[in-house]
Amino acid sequence: MRTETRTYTLYRITELSEEAKEKAYNQWLCNGYFYGWTNENRQTLDTFCERFGIVCRNWRYDACNYSYDYRSRQEDCIDSLSGWRLMAYLMNNHWNDLCTPKYFWKGMKGRKSKIFVDTCCPLTGYYIDDCILDPIYKFLKFPTENVTFDDLMNDCLDSFFRACRDDMESTQTLEYFTEESNANNWEYLLDGNLFN
């Protein structure tokens, strides 16, 4: 019986040549890439659809494009609301979906404000809430007669899926891979293969 010992020289991603770094990046994209925020995105979409009475089906997104179709569960008279009437409808029926009371702290005691509100991530607490609600906030600032409830829901879903696509695209860049590699202390051989 014979025992053989091998010695390897290991490198951090920033110490590799450009060709080796590119090889490591491509291997990661093919074998190790995982988009970790799908559940949070799905939770925001489900909460939005439930609260605003719409059904979004056949949706998908990746780093390059997205698609979806939806229908409203609202009555036709609500779907066709526009302008000031739509603004009044949103304020009267969805204020608690769009805003949360602001908290004030004094020492260890906190209290909810009865006057001031916060519009930061009111659906689930995840940042994508702001993306899906952004068209509604813009509409409430400047209500126009040519925007209906149906148009507004379509704008919200388009904004949401565009944000998901852009987020997924940003997690597939070489810069993101380099940060991920450094954060996880991954080590590579000189040719760019991941050392296990």
Per-domain residue ranges of the chain: 13-33+176-195, 37-171
Q: What is the DSSP string of 179-190?
A: HHHHHTT--B-T
Predicted TM-score (pTM) of the model is 0.85
pLDDT in the model for residue 153 = 96
Mean pLDDT rounded to a whole number for the chain:
92
% the chain with pLDDT above 70: 100
More confidently predicted of 188 and 115: 188
pLDDT digits over 71-99, tens only? 998 888 899 999 999 999 999 999 988 98
In a 10 Å sphere around its CB, with 0-12 CB exposed, 13-18 middle and 19+ buried, how is residue 55 labelled?
A: exposed
Provide the token pair at 186: 């991954």
Provide the token pair at 176: 């993101």
User: What gap in Å lies between CA 163 and CA 108, rounded to an integer?
Assistant: 37
User: What gap in Å lies between CA 121 and CA 44, rounded to an integer?
Assistant: 10
